[in-house]
Structure 1
């Protein structure tokens, strides 16, 4: 019997013509029932011919309305509020026609169809009840027959709009793994009531009853929740042994659709980030309106998020340039799905090839350039300084020079905290880029405003510790940390890119904007938190081992050099770094000499030139530390 019902309910679906026939049968039965009620359940003395005539008339009108509005074409097993509303509207239109026609008949005295208004009212109400009841019965029968017999009991944390959306998303998916047993809320007025038949509990009450309800998971579904509150909820769930998941906010839904597949595990970014940044949208909109924008390194973590942020504004075109073919293709496919009508183009090109980049500038005439293209891995660049100079310095110089040549309005360079008192080749290469970009602002009759933004590590970016630790946890450990005392500043990718946009349009040229990165985070504490978020125990399930500092790596990062200070801006999280000015002609010549030396000098000589350009560059745990000893010996 169950298999027969499943075969009936599955597949495309039951034929819409069968649904139409069932709806029409319900209309006829409702009409007979309405007449029976009107005649005190006595149809014996009522002429059968009159009843049949009235049934044909009423049934014909409802049939025409059903065909006109297509109320029978929905998927019955997936009926929802909108389909129930369509049934109500359709039947009401038929009722309105019939009652109007009956009124006209009585006024004209034509004795053709005589149906009392009370019968029509009873019939309308009964029809709605039967048709909606039929759909609910099919929907519930399908849900029961296909429901998984194994599921996880969950609480939804949040009884507001997001909580109800999450509840609906879970209920609508027959394959979901969750069985909601209650909702948790912090608002006193919501406690003790039932929402969609589920109790709304305080946290203390949920903890008290959680074991008896065999709760394993809590789904966080609160709009605009603070990071601090999120962190407290996370800690409380870990303490109870409950796994915490999260329903993302509306703007993060895939294709703008809510479903239980959107529910994800809470991430370290969710509890280490900070509350939403308030941007000066007016200034940014004015700066971006109708502009052609070039984003280099567009397929990377920062570049791709800058592109996503830019798509919020009315730009003319976004040129996404990168040399990473696969990553650029993936970004293109993502945007075609989520922003199919967005004005973007992809360009596969190498920023070190000046002829190729000049062609890009000549074709698109970009008015704003965001340069996020760079090599960033410290140990690799320590091994291959040639590439750090060629790409980071040479590529940036190409872009900046072409921005001037083609009269770009704004050039925003993405730098790093590793450029401050650098101890490695990568950080020094970015500091040289900063120096060159800032010195360009000294040129006369310059139409391009050059701005640099400097910030620390971004959570979850390609190659950062978060993806590494996650992979190590999935493999059963151990997690590798270079030093027990190593700390880093962290910021989420969206937060960093929002501040880049804000700083880019508050700068007039020559500034190095420094972001407030909050408090530094000990990497070992980050590792421990990620282990606990995975539902595992530190040193029992996953061990942490210390591998020693890598070449060029610092224990502590800085955002400003010791001789620098800052000036405030209108945004509390953005400051202007007051750094030493460099004479453009001298810097330009030294950088030209450095780039020319790539063809003829070895790594040691190249790094020696970098140390000449950036005297504060002192190598740490590196093969190039000998150059510093040589300098000290020469000075003494």
Structure 2
């Protein structure tokens, strides 16, 4: 007996080459139990025509059409959708129990043919991405072509993407430093796979002065991109001495050697958590920023009259959370959903800014190329995203219902965590640059000689594993705006005198 299974009714958004290829792939797939119903198209010139008897309807009527034709699945087969519109379409479909799929980019089709197995459910990353501006930058090419570049933390989420993007500017050599051997080995295999050979691996710790100096001596890098850091907020609350040794000590060592060995540009990767820090991680990055800036100013003072001496341009870049980076919230939610839940969110109101890794790294390279030295560049991160909404949307995208199929649990803020990251780009504290997404932060700078002494007084006890309390207190003196939140270090903050809103 043949079982009559109701065919799924499919609409394809986009009646261009990709849409037509998608339709044909579906029709050739004997296992796909579908009925192709209609095309939906933005381009009004195509509306009213038909392809192989399937008519093309206007996207302005999308919501009506999907309901009228009882569509079960919508396949997005165009790259031209603005992300706001894509979000509206997906929201409508999720509310109306219509599954949404996307077609992978042409380069991943097999021998130029699309296989139906490659159609994917819309991913949350697709919805959070902003309009990508892919710039091939002439200035960067002039600066980097045939030069030697050192990337620290090269195997991490940000470091490895910086490496991928550097390759298009044809440097002579990229020195890849990381202290995590397996990710560094993975990066080596990835680079070899694409036929890249202009790199050297340097496995080791940016805190090790003899190791780091040997790298500068041996390779004489022109550019340093410093992405090595400890980044997990709750872990650094538990390990403040490590945060100081790596995030402050490692940065200081690399910056000092950059001057000694005549590096042209030193680009430090920082974070929005360095702004009014509430945790050890953010404060350690703020101290690293302060050191790099003061070092630049001090170098300018020393070489004022001597124009022949080449100077190192020190540039800092700050941005918020990157989508899908190792250990970030999206991969964690995915795992929790696959396991059947619950999805854990720390607080119903917590929000974060997000940016894709490629976009963040592109802006790092841009800012690094346009800086004159001493600046802290902040990136326009778009709109903040409510993490609870993110969790709900991810559950719906998996074809499940939040609260019914998958529970959301609130676990409470973790040590050092904020509800809202500080907005970096408020007008009083930033200056515009020629790039609309890159701003310059106005920050106070501290005179080098006193800062240098204070930082040494911080690194030394941290290296010797001395009192955590003393080290964190010293951090708070260096960064007065560092006020701990939900952390054992709250007791070190000076009590606030509250006189406002007294009752009676």
In structure 1, distance between residues paired with 2:154 and 2:30: 39
Encode CA deviations 1:126-171: one digit per residue, 9 max, x unaligned.
Answer: xxxxxxxxxxxxxxxxxxxxxxx99966433211133244446656
TM-score under structure 2 normalisation? 0.88
Is the 1:352–1:398 contact (alpha carbons within 8 Å) kept by the matching residues of 2? yes
Say which of 233, 237, 242 aligns to 1:378: 233
Q: Give yes or no for the alignment of 1:400 onto 2:255.
A: yes
**Which residue number corresponds to residue 187 of structure 2?**
331
Alignment of 1:510-525 (within 5 A): 510-525=374-389
Aligned with residue 200 of structure 1, among 56, 64, 72: 56
Would the aligned equivalents of 2:207 and 2:249 in 1 still touch at CA under 8 Å? yes
Partner of 2:360 in structure 1? 496
Q: Which has the larger radius of gyration?
A: 1
- Residues 1:607 and 2:476 aligned together: no
User: Contact (CA 8 Å) 1:417, 1:557: kept in 2 or not?
Assistant: yes
- SS across alignment from 1:576: strand
Counterpart for residue 343 of structure 1: 198
In 2, Cα distance between equivalents of 1:160 and 1:436 = 54
CA distance in 2, matches of 1:368, 1:228: 38
Choose between structure 1 and 2: higher helix proportion.
1
Instruction: Give the distance between the partners of 2:483 and 2:96, measured in 1 at CA.
Output: 48
- Please give the alpha-carbon distance, in whole angstroms, between the structure 2 residues aligned to 1:562 and 1:241: 40
Q: 2:138 aligns with which of 245, 260, 282?
A: 282
**Residue 499 (structure 2) pairs with residue 624 (structure 1):** no
Query: How many angstroms does 1:630 deviate by?
Result: 7.1
Change (3 A) 1:380 1:549: same
In structure 1, C-alpha distance between the alignment counterparts of 2:337 and 2:326, rounded to whole Å: 17
CA distance in 2, matches of 1:614, 1:274: 34
- Structure 2 unaligned spans of 5+: 304-309, 498-504
Q: For 1:155 and 1:562, how far apart are their aligned partners in 2?
A: 44
Q: CA RMSD in A?
A: 2.8
Alignment partner, residue 14 of structure 1? none
Kept in 2, the 8 Å contact 1:191–1:201? The answer is yes
Separation in 2, partners of 1:360, 1:613: 31
Q: Does 1:529 pair with 2:397? A: no
Question: Greater relative contact order: 1 or 2 (C-alpha under 8 angstroms, separation 6 or more)?
Answer: 2
Q: 325-334 vs 202-211, which deviates more? A: 202-211
3-state SS of 1:504 partner: helix
8 Å Cα contact 1:421/1:561 also seen in 2:
no
Hey, what's the Cα distance between the residues in 2 that align with 1:409 and 1:174? 60
Distance in 2, Cα, partners of 1:233 & 1:166: 19
2:354 corresponds to 1:466: no
Cα distance in 2 between the residues matched to 1:420 and 1:239:
38
Structure 1: gaps (5+ residues): 1-148
1:505 partner SS = helix
Query: Which residue of structure 2 aligns with residue 410 of structure 1?
Result: 265
Q: What is residue 287 of structure 2 aligned with on the other side?
A: 432
Measured against aligned partners, the alpha-carbon deviations of 1:175-221 in whole angstroms (never above 9, x if no partner) come to 7787755432222222333335544344357515643xxx5432212
2-structure distance, mates of 1:173, 1:336? 36
SS at match of 2:224: strand
Please tell me whether the aligned partners of residues 566 and 578 of structure 1 are also in contact (alpha carbons under 8 angstroms).
yes
- The count of corresponding residues between Structure 1 and Structure 2 is 480
SS of equivalent residue, structure 2 residue 318: strand
223-232 or 158-167: bigger deviation: 158-167
User: Which stretch of the first structure deviates more once superposed, 474-483 or 154-163?
Assistant: 154-163
C-alpha separation in 2, matches of 1:349 and 1:441: 26
Contact kept? 1:277, 1:498, Cα under 8 Å? no
Return closer, same or farther for 1:256/1:318 CA change in 2, 3 Å cut-off: farther
Give the structure-1-normalised TM-score: 0.70
CA spacing shift, 1:401–1:194, aligned 2, 3 Å: same
Q: Deviations over 1:43-81 (max 9, x none)?
A: xxxxxxxxxxxxxxxxxxxxxxxxxxxxxxxxxxxxxxx
